[in-house]
Amino acid sequence: MTTKARSLTTQQEHDIDLMRAAVERDLALWWHQNARDLPWRFGRTSPWGVLVSEVMSQQTQMSRVVGYWEAWMNKWPDATALAKAPTAEVIAAWGRLGYPRRALRLQECAGVVSEQYHDQLPHDYESLVALPGIGDYTASAVMSFAFGERVAVIDTNIRRVLGRAFLGVESLGGSTSPVERTLAWRVLPEAAAQSVVWNQGVMELGALVCTAKQPGCDSCPLRSMCVFLAAGRPGLGERRTRPRQRFQGTNRQVRGIILQSLRDLPDGQSVVTYDKLRELWPDRAQLDLCIDSLEHDGLVEIVDGHAVRLPQ
């Protein structure tokens, strides 16, 4: 009988409750000594600035985000400023952060916040998660990090750390399981202020120490209580079910090349011809497919059927 558990056992609940306070104490201490000094942390930006940092950080390492975030917030300090910007400029400013549809969704989001919410981010999860480009993770992160509310933030780092520390198992990817969600809420500190430190601490620990492949258990603040370490780190680095996404030769690479050619255009030029694009990517069928998909996404406009430009 190897049926996947649908909920925590009574024994697991008991063990988790015994561990919780010690983890909270040691993690908070570690956080205060090891937190990276990112510009959107420690109350130095608005809720909108926090949201921008979270959207930029989706699927992207923090170290790559910092410079973009600073330039972006300098240029468009609030939702209304971003909503009014030319879309071509927004896409260009997204630069090489990757997944440029995020930039489009962020500008749409800015439009909704500007018009429906008077330029102030809504303070409730349901309204946040309904915004363009904002899913469960980002809505929860804003509720916790920007508004200080008691919300369980769940991303892959947190799933990995909590699964290891409290259950002694690897989080194997795919969508968040009911067990993972139940666990995240059960261990979350009752006091709102403590819950924010907890969320940030668990995420930071997952990013800096409790990494997927080579966790630094020797320097982990939880090494004395971690169930995963005590069990001999069973299945460490086990293949995630998430499908591998190679890059070479994919539509993602071709779309990237097309957008890069548009971003890097000299001043005064705004279009790139299909002929020029064929020099960059000779496979005409794939190129046409990617141009169409970029247009469909709203990331480019087609000019007279022979060139592309950023949306005006």
Tell me the C-alpha to C-alpha distance, in Å, between residue 95 and each of 92, 98, 101.
5, 8, 12
Residues in Cβ contact with 299 at an 8 Å cutoff, skipping those fewer than 6 apart: 91, 100, 101, 104, 255, 259, 310, 311
118 binds DNA (CB under 7 A): no
162: phi then psi, degrees, rounded to nearest 5: -70, -40
> Measured in Å, how far apart are the chain's first and last C-alpha atoms?
60
Cβ-based neighbour number of residue 141 at 10 Å: 26
Residue from 5, 25, 75, 135 touching DNA (CB under 7 A): that is: 135
Which is catalytic among the residues 13, 24, 54, 180?
A: 54
246 binds DNA (CB under 7 A): yes
Residue from 120, 219, 224, 260 touching DNA (CB under 7 A): that is: 260
293 binds DNA (CB under 7 A): yes
34 binds DNA (CB under 7 A): no
306 binds DNA (CB under 7 A): no
Closer to DNA by Cβ: residue 14 or 242: 242
- Long-range CB pairs of 237-242 (<8 Å, 24+ gap) are 237/212, 237/213, 238/170, 238/172, 240/172, 240/173, 240/174, 240/212, 241/172, 241/173, 241/174, 242/173, 242/174
Residue from 38, 39, 85, 101 touching DNA (CB under 7 A): that is: 101
Tally of helices (H runs) and strands (E runs) in the chain? 15, 3
Beta bridge partners of 308: 272, 302
160, with CB counted inside 10 A (0-12, 13-18, 19+), is buried
CB of 37 to DNA, least distance (A): 18
Distance of alpha carbon 58 from alpha carbon 62, whole angstroms: 9
Residue from 244, 264, 269, 304 touching DNA (CB under 7 A): that is: 244
309: phi then psi, degrees, rounded to nearest 5: -150, 165
Distance of alpha carbon 91 from alpha carbon 79, whole angstroms: 16
Residue 54 known to be catalytic: yes
156 binds DNA (CB under 7 A): yes
164 binds DNA (CB under 7 A): no
Distance of alpha carbon 10 from alpha carbon 179, whole angstroms: 13
Closer to DNA by Cβ: residue 12 or 139: 139
264 binds DNA (CB under 7 A): no
11 binds DNA (CB under 7 A): no
105 binds DNA (CB under 7 A): yes
243 binds DNA (CB under 7 A): yes
137 binds DNA (CB under 7 A): yes
Stretch that binds DNA, among 82-90, 116-124, 192-200, 250-258 (CB under 7 A): 250-258
Residue from 58, 107, 114, 199 touching DNA (CB under 7 A): that is: 58
Catalytic annotation, residues? 54
Residues in contact with DNA by CB under 7 A are 58-61, 63-64, 96-101, 105, 132-139, 155-157, 160, 174-175, 206, 211-214, 240-241, 243-247, 250-253, 255-257, 259-260, 293
